[in-house]
Chains A and B, each alone.
Chain A
Amino acid sequence: MNLKKIYKYGSPPNFYRFAMKLEPWCLSLGLFLIAIGSIGGLFVAPKDYQMGDAFRIIYFHVPSAYLSMSAYAAMGIASIIGIVWRSNVAFAVAKSIAPFGALMTAVALITGMLWGKPMWGTAWVWDARLTSEFILLLLYFGYITLHATIKEQKKADRAASLLAILGIINLPIIHYSVVWWNTLHQASTISKLDSPSIVGEMLWPLLLMIIGYMIFFIGVICRGGSAEVLMREKRSNWVKEV
């Protein structure tokens, strides 16, 4: 019975109206949280006793790394929905996620390199997380290139979605196969819920940043997805009314 409510958003005009309503809220709230988090992280949080001020790059590194993975998961889910229900909206959303996800992956890699240079002495090591992040970037590029190379819109959608689904199946396998190397990367800072290895003053800006990035991401998807839907439906009547 609830499925009907979800089906409603599968129709392009409904999705467009919903996304346009959601978008300004998400973008502004996301930016607000990111701003607070940045101020908190860059000025309020105390220095790390080992790393000094250099640790502050965590406030940009960790949220983008989180988002690079969850964006791929979102893209895969949208692709599955698109393939199963032949939903044009889902394809549009998946397509608009890809460049943003690739950007986040690149940001995570670059900030990681900047952080690694003073801390580990080198910008790049063949470490599990770095390598799987890099592979993730390749997967994004594969999706974007495949979508761009096929001329026909519908064919491109379905082919690229198939690739995204295969990537979803393969991503955990790639990750665990890469873990076979001994890993230099520090373990996750906030996954240990019972005894966090980070003090509260350092933690709250980080959490704010992660939540802010997520909400901002939803806003970006609303914007990109609705623009994509408009492009695809430019001949239909409801677009002319908008």
Chain B
Amino acid sequence: MNIYFQLFSREISVAFKRWTDALTGFILFFLIAILFPLISDSNKEFLLTIVGPIMMFSAFFASMLSMQNMFKPDFQNGTIEQLMLSKGSFVSLILTKTIAYWLFTSLPLILISGLTASIYFVSASGILIIQLTLVLSTLTMVHINAFTAAITLGIRYPGALMTLIITPITLPILIFGSKTIENSILGADISGPLYFLTGMMMLSFFLGPWITASALKISMD
């Protein structure tokens, strides 16, 4: 059996055993989206203007919540070291791991976002755009999170440092993501910000695994 496929199925089965990690992000995402109409104004026009930022914001926080555990358990029990020594390319192995992680932590958010968007009175076509935006932006964010988790691996309490590193790098994705959603709700052209998001995603797929792998190597020695 292919080594990448083996790692992938291993990641999925481990993720099922640590399901609370994914669940916390999921609950946070849902709760932020529900709490906003409750604690602020709940009329339709207002909710439609803030749905874009809220979606991006809650996805950002949900992805940040679980990312400390992205490499830490595997680092402590020596799996990362074994991956480094294995015959496959380390960069591609990291890419496999990142995608498996994305499937488990971000895909549930995208599925539930249809429900949360309908709380904000978004139309059916708007929901599709929101989900597309979330797919593109979480696929970018997961690489940034992977890099940050890898580079702060040896630090005992990395919480504040992680936030400091991750916020400036993620900012463009948040801006363009909420711009896409806002434009689609206003009925304006969404191709500009959507192309940008796609470009960022391609760039992060190209650079992300490579830079994460070198960060892991630095944390290793």
Contact = CB atoms under 8 A, between A and B. Distances in A.
B221 A146 contact: no
Contacts of B215: 159, 162
Interface stretch (B105-113, B114-122, B159-167): B159-167
A145 B151 contact: no
Contact of B154 (A135, A150, A169, A174): A150
Nearest to A162: B215
Contacts of A65: none
Given A142-B164, A146-B165, A169-B207, A159 B172 contact: no
B151 A162 contact: yes
B171 interface: yes
A146 B168 contact: no
A31 interface: no
A139 B168 contact: yes
B191 to A, nearest CB: 15
Nearest to B208: A166
Contacts of B176: 177
A104 to B, nearest CB: 17
Nearest to A169: B207
Interface in B55-100: none
A141 B207 CA distance: 23
Interface in B154-189: 154-155, 158, 161, 164-165, 167-169, 171-172, 175-176, 179
B219 interface: yes
Contacts of B207: 169
Contacts of B196: 177
Interface string A85-98: 00000000000000
Contact of B221 (A142, A155, A169): A155
A142 to B, nearest CB: 5
Contact size class for A?
20 to 34
B165 A149 contact: no
B24 interface: no
Contact of A174 (B147, B155, B161, B171): B171
A159 B151 contact: yes
B218 A158 contact: yes
A155 B154 contact: yes
A141 B218 contact: no
Q: Which 10 A-B pairs have the closest CB atoms?
A: A177-B172, A142-B165, A158-B218, A135-B168, A138-B168, A142-B164, A177-B175, A173-B172, A159-B218, A159-B151
Given A141-B164, A159-B219, A162-B218, 9 more contacts: A138-B168, A146-B152, A155-B218, A162-B211, A162-B214, A163-B151, A167-B169, A170-B169, A177-B172
Interface of B: 147, 151-152, 154-155, 158, 161, 164-165, 167-169, 171-172, 175-176, 179, 196, 200, 207, 211, 214-215, 218-219, 221
